[in-house]
Amino acid sequence: MKKSRLLLTIFSLVLFLAGCGNRQLSTLHPAGEVADRQFFLLMFSLGIMFTVIFVVVIIYSIVLYRFRRKKVGEDKIPKQVEGSHKLEIIWTSIPIFLVLCLAVPTVYYTFKLGDVRGMELVDEQGNPEALVVKVTANQYWWHFEYPGLGIETSQDLVVPTGEKVYFELAASDVKHSFWVPSAGGKLDTNTDNVNRFYLEFDPEKADEAGNLFFGKCAELCGPSHAYMDFKVKAIPKEEFEEWVAAMQNYKEPELTDELAIRGQELFQENNCFACHAITPEAGGSKLAPNLADFGNRTTVAGYLPNDVEHLKKWIKKPDDYKPGNKMYKESALSDDELEALAAYLMSLKAGQ
């Protein structure tokens, strides 16, 4: 009985801990400079803390064993050390030293990793040298704007690897928090100020992760907080530039498929465009996710697989998948109409 319980515990621990190994989602697999430094701080402080625990437990056990009443006798009075300067200096200086060991690198990296002076730098033509992405968090989706490039997108954040990417973080409704566990963070998105930081995505680590990292909202923000996911496509610089060019030259698709044409009509008739922009130019609607390039998105609603089936389910009853979202509770569209709308949305792709 005892043995099987132990085995069960070990087995479930293995299953549980296996979740920590996902390269796309784990702070334990740092995939860039910021995550590296944060991982170092994590391990360094854990090391110090475990050493303290280890030493204390050892001394405690020795004392417990050596000074048992049974061994030293009922009447034994131990050596009195009250007021010993030597001992007091030892147990004051060791903790001070340890706290300093924890504090110095923590403070150093807090300032170093928060250094965003690079986002102000411009080249001779006055163009910004670094890539800046403006992130707006909304219940329960993410808007990404590239002010220097004149484009915007939602849910899938596209960034180049091997360079610092600066972020300006804000929220439109309540407080959220922007977190890409593998790359570092997290930082709150607030409604009343803009927070800034940078992340770096290591080309090799990104490659190992299939050039895709998972992003999370890390601040309880409502009933669908847990579904407020986004994806980070971290791709080599050349590919990133191709993507930017495709987005800058984005054209609405010329539809030939009848189903998709019907879907486009439904999109107009149902006023979907009142909230959803369908082209990536800066200045589009920010009321709901931008749908340009939707056909190339990794997910529907941030966490469902991006296929027609899930898209239809989502459009039909969004509230089943993201309770409290601002679309509507249930759509009156028929199954055929949903099929057409999904076909249209899937046809929205950059680089055609």
CB of 226 to ligand CUA, least distance (A): 8
Which stretches of the chain bind ligand CUA, using CB under 6 A? 137, 140, 176, 217, 219-221, 225, 228
CB of 152 to ligand CUA, least distance (A): 19
- 158 or 169: whose CB is closer to ligand CUA? 169
CB of 6 to ligand CUA, least distance (A): 38
- 178 or 243: whose CB is closer to ligand CUA? 178
Three-point CA angle 262, 263, 267, nearest 5°:
120
Beta-carbon-side half-sphere exposure of residue 268 (alpha carbons within 13 Å): 5
CB of 185 to ligand CUA, least distance (A): 14
- 180 or 260: whose CB is closer to ligand CUA? 180
At 96 the three-state DSSP class reads helix
Owner of token pair 């701080």: 41
* Nearest alpha-carbon partner for 93 in 104, 85, 81: 85
CB of 167 to ligand CUA, least distance (A): 16
Q: Per-residue b/e over 112-130, b at no fewer than 16 CB within 10 Å?
A: ebeebeebeeeeeeeebeb
CB of 140 to ligand CUA, least distance (A): 6
- Cα 304 to chain centroid distance, Å, stands at 17
- 200 or 219: whose CB is closer to ligand CUA? 219
3-state secondary structure 212-237: EEEEEECCCCCCCHHHCCEEEEEECH
Contacts of 306 (CB under 8 A, 6+ apart): 297, 298, 299, 300
CB of 158 to ligand CUA, least distance (A): 21
CB of 137 to ligand CUA, least distance (A): 6
Pairwise CA distance, residues 291 & 131, whole Å? 22
Q: Per-residue b/e over 141-158, b at no fewer than 16 CB within 10 Å?
A: bbbbbbeebebbbbbbbb
- 158 or 217: whose CB is closer to ligand CUA? 217
- 7 or 220: whose CB is closer to ligand CUA? 220
For 278-316, give the DSSP string.
-S-BTT---SS---TTGGG-SEETTTEESSHHHHHHHHH
- 139 or 306: whose CB is closer to ligand CUA? 139
- 206 or 221: whose CB is closer to ligand CUA? 221
Asked whether the beta carbons of 39 and 27 are under 8 A apart, the reply is: yes
- The DSSP output letter for 122 is B
